[in-house]
Structure 1
Amino acid sequence: MTTTTPHAQPGSHSLRDSLPAPASVPAPVPAPTASGRPRGGRFGREVGYLLSGLPLGIAAFTLMIVGFALGVSTLILVIGLPVLAGTLAMARYLARVEADHIAVVTGRPLPARWEEPASRGAGAEAGSGGGRWKAVRDPQAWRDLAHAVLSFPVRVATFALSLTWLVGGLGGLTYGLWSWSIPRDDNDGLMDLAFGISGRGPDIAFNTALGVFLLVTAVPVVRGLTVAQASLGRVLLRRAQV
């Protein structure tokens, strides 16, 4: 017994023709963790945030101080306003970088920056004197500049403390392996200087215990330093709108 396949008549539509065309499937996005933060070691992100803050802070502090001083001192001339506008534009870029770092390390992005609709477009006024004045009058740009200056001593302190905690902890834990290379004269190390207890054994025991203490407390200390450094950014900065 043979079966015949019905042919579509002219002007008729089959069921396949009525179905929508398959849409392109976007690339899968990695699922966040239960806390909503990106995957990866939180402690490692915090250490990277603190240690990278010092070179970024040095560059930001230098650019902002030099640009602001040069712009204010030459305001009476023609170049003062463009210099200030360029300095504030650099401050805005550095603020965007810091806002991204805070969002990654804490899992909580900063509030979005409010901007006038005209300032977000590429209007004809962008390259004119009015556009430059608008950039100089932007309050958030000045807060970005203030953050670049005020965060510098904070970055120095957090960098020094985090590096001391990590290097001191590792050095103390392995003190017994390299203490022989330390030149000694009339004392036998910290135990002899602090408590008058001489001998290499007590010195090694004291430094090893100190290293263990630093490593055990490294996580809460680094977390506290991260919160302190990021809190200044949360007060002064805003996330750039896309």
Structure 2
Amino acid sequence: MTRPDRLRSFATMTTTPSVLTRLGRDYAFVLPGFFISLFAFVLLVPLFTLALGTAVIWIGVWLLPLVLLVAAGFAELSRNRVRLWGGRLDQPAYRRGGTGINGSLRYLTDPRRWLDLLFETLIAFPVRTLTFVVSVAWTAGALGGTTYVLWGHYLPRGEQEYPLAAGMLEALTGGAIPDAVATSYAVESVVNLLIGVLFLLTLPAVMRGLALLDASTTVAALGAGPAPGYPMPAGPRVA
């Protein structure tokens, strides 16, 4: 290998993130997203409902611009989280507001802000709930299975002391293994260890897929692009 080849190889090794680094980045992106979306959902939905309910007496008309501004703030947070994770997301263009009440009402004519509200209330929360639940369940399966031998003995037992291993061995061997062996704690621990190792080995790929699902949804909904009925200006403008 020539010296330039060695230098390129070293540069690749030093710039390519390790599996653990990438896994930590995916965790840092996926797990907080659920709590952020939960907070956005419980804040925006009541505010929007209140604005609609009081629109007939004009209070809601003045409240709607505030709702859209809050939604745009959460949307910008979502964009920044994608960028910190390593994704590319261009800044979209917003229509500028103005001073006074009439200027605030101009926010109501911006389709981009309504898209932010739609994303943060009806899209982000279900998607991030799914990614959070799967990530926690997969992590629990990996950690619980690999450490079962340390704590499994303290679990309360029913009539059959270790049903997981016994049921699997019964299905695989047709009852050829004696019950004394199939229902032993050692066999149960080995079965849980194998399951935990399987979850552990697939954990980086699962977390990467969940992070990609969240990021791709965010980019598709909140990335730069002409909103319906609104021509894209030469440069991004954020009010």
Give 1:99's match in structure 2, choosing from 56, 79, 99. 79
Alpha carbons 2:26, 2:211 under 8 Å: kept: yes
Distance 1:191 1:241, change over 3 A: farther
Please state whether the residue corresponding to 1:76 is helix, strand or coil: helix
Higher relative contact order, chain-length normalized (CA < 8 Å, sep 6+)? 2
Q: Does 1:214 align with 2:199?
A: yes
How many residue pairs get aligned? The number is: 199
Distance 1:128 1:83, change over 3 A: closer
The answer for unaligned runs of 5 or more in structure 1 is 1-32
Larger radius of gyration: 1
Alpha carbons 2:64, 2:108 under 8 Å: kept: yes
* Matched letter for residue 115 of structure 1: Y
Give 1:112's match in structure 2, choosing from 88, 91, 95. 91
The percent of aligned pairs where both chains have the same amino acid is 30
How large is the Cα RMSD of the aligned pairs?
2.1
Alignment match, 2:116? 144
Alignment match, 2:54? 74
Deviation at 1:221, TM superposition (A): 0.4
Q: Which runs of 4+ in 1 moved over 3 A?
A: 193-197, 238-242
Deviation at 1:66, TM superposition (A): 0.9
Deviation at 1:42, TM superposition (A): 2.2
Deviation at 1:81, TM superposition (A): 1.6
Distance 1:190 1:234, change over 3 A: same
Give 1:231's match in structure 2, choosing from 207, 211, 216. 216
Q: Does 1:181 align with 2:154?
A: yes
- TM-score of the two chains, using structure 1 as the length reference: 0.76
- TM-score of the two chains, using structure 2 as the length reference: 0.77
Residues 123-160 of structure 1 deviation map (CA, whole Å, 9 limit, x = unaligned): xx32222x122111111111111111211111111001
Q: Does 1:169 align with 2:156?
A: no
The answer for unaligned runs of 5 or more in structure 2 is 1-13, 171-181, 225-235
Please state whether the residue corresponding to 1:64 is helix, strand or coil: helix
Query: Which has the larger share of helix?
Result: 2
Cα distance in 1, alignment partners of residues 27 and 137 from structure 2: 12
